Structure 1
Amino acid sequence: MSKTVQYFFAPQSPWAYLGHERFVAMAQARGALIDIKPFDLGKVFSVSGGLPLAKRAPQRQAYRLQELARWSRHLGLPLIAHPTFFPVPPDAAARLIIAARTGLGADAALGLTGAIMRALWAEDRNISDEDTLAQIASACGLDGKMLVKSSATAGVQEQYDRNTDEAMAASVFGVPWYVVDGEGFWGQDRLDFVERALS
């Protein structure tokens, strides 16, 4: 019987970007299902002790940049350390992913997620802009304009809120966060452990 991984993430996270394609490939290789759950990281930070990047100590900010550069080199993934559009409001992108998941299925949503993260961290694009999001979705073979329209519905917002509530209930405090058989794994650098849990 296939296992399911709950995949909690925020589309503006560089760490989610660095882990996304590896995670999807791993889950597919193991025959696991992915329950994709973009959520409001700011709300989770407010109850879990997390701080937005600008409010973190200089030492932490400097080390973050070192680690991003290390992982970018290690994985061979391009990463712009200081994107023009960052910090960026993530809500429009998250809702677009939810609309894709609801209307088109998990595979379409996962492909769109990767494209949105790549747009921010490798292509220096504004993922809070509706026209940009429509273009990204269309480049994935989806109806971008229709998907943007769908993402503005009350049902999508309710799912986004539910995902956020579920993240809090699962004691999530960072991204990406993976849950297998009730066990949480924080960070793309824990994917080896996620793979073992799936095995």
Structure 2
Amino acid sequence: MPTIQYIYSAHSAFAYLGSARLMALCAQHNVTLIHKPVLLSPVVEAQGSQPFHARTQAHVDYFFGREIERWAEFRDVPVINYRPTYHDADYSLASGMIIALGESGAAVDAMAHRILEAHWRDDADLSNPVTLAELATSLGHDAQSLIARAASNACQDALGANSDWARTQDVFGSPTYIVDGDAFYGQDRLELVARALETPFASPNWTNPTVDP
């Protein structure tokens, strides 16, 4: 069975915008989705990108405004029309809830989608254990048990390991999908992911010139 390694943060706008489409692709092509939630800022900054608080207002306005609006309309995904109130909150516990359910399977897929949806549709606080308990219960889980596992050293260490691994793979944003070693960055590449599942792209034959510092 083919697999897709899915690297994303639990509060990523574009992971949310592509989530339903990704799940549909996996079902269509009988693909196992391997979840690798990460802490996004360390991954992004390792590739030399600026954190959002250091970017220009024009860039932030574009990212949290028109770009999200257009893709939400295109994908027919409900989304709030402002930057989420708790976007800068700690989402490590929410990430741990995904990890606690395993790397793959229907329960993991559902939890990942629901967490992203809660943040971008419902303006939920992903750092609030009460909110996370409600999400877990809505999906049929024993909320307190799942949250305890999510907060455990094992799950939090796995989140750190995912983030370290993503840096070694030169991942520079969320979401990134890896199909048979070929990485696709951004939910706007999902159509290319679909093509890769049917017909792998040719190996790259270009060379990257050295860039002077």
TM-score, length of structure 1 as denominator length: 0.94
Counterpart CA distance in 2 for 1:146 and 1:7 is: 25
The amino acid of 1:78's aligned partner reads P
How many Å apart are 1:58 and its aligned residue? 2.0
| Higher alpha-carbon deviation: 157-166 or 3-12 | 157-166
How many Å apart are 1:51 and its aligned residue? 2.2
How many Å apart are 1:50 and its aligned residue? 2.1
Specify the SS of the correspondent of 1:101: coil
Match of 1:70? 70
Match of 1:173? 172
Structure 2 residue ranges without an equivalent (≥5): 199-213
How many Å apart are 1:87 and its aligned residue? 2.1
Larger of the two Rg values belongs to structure:
2
CA contact (8 A) 2:86 2:125 kept: yes
* Per-residue deviation, residues 5-36 of structure 1 (Å, max 9, x unmatched): 10000011111100011101101110111110
Does the alignment pair 1:149 with 2:187? no
Where is the helix percentage greater, Structure 1 or Structure 2?
1
Specify the SS of the correspondent of 1:185: strand
Does the alignment pair 1:132 with 2:131? yes
Query: Aligned-pair RMSD on alpha carbons?
Result: 1.3
* Per-residue deviation, residues 139-186 of structure 1 (Å, max 9, x unmatched): 011111110011121211221122112111111000000001111000
Match of 1:58? 57
Superposed, which structure 2 residues align to 1:28-107 within 5 Å? 28-64=27-63, 65-80=65-80, 81-101=82-102, 106-107=105-106
Aligned residues: 196
TM-score, length of structure 2 as denominator length: 0.88
How many Å apart are 1:88 and its aligned residue? 2.4
Counterpart CA distance in 1 for 2:133 and 2:9 is: 19
Counterpart CA distance in 1 for 2:144 and 2:76 is: 32
Counterpart CA distance in 2 for 1:50 and 1:128 is: 25
CA contact (8 A) 1:53 1:61 kept: yes
Structure 1 residue ranges without an equivalent (≥5): none
The amino acid of 2:84's aligned partner reads P
Counterpart CA distance in 1 for 2:121 and 2:102 is: 24
Match of 1:19? 18
Specify the SS of the correspondent of 1:157: helix
CA contact (8 A) 2:100 2:150 kept: yes
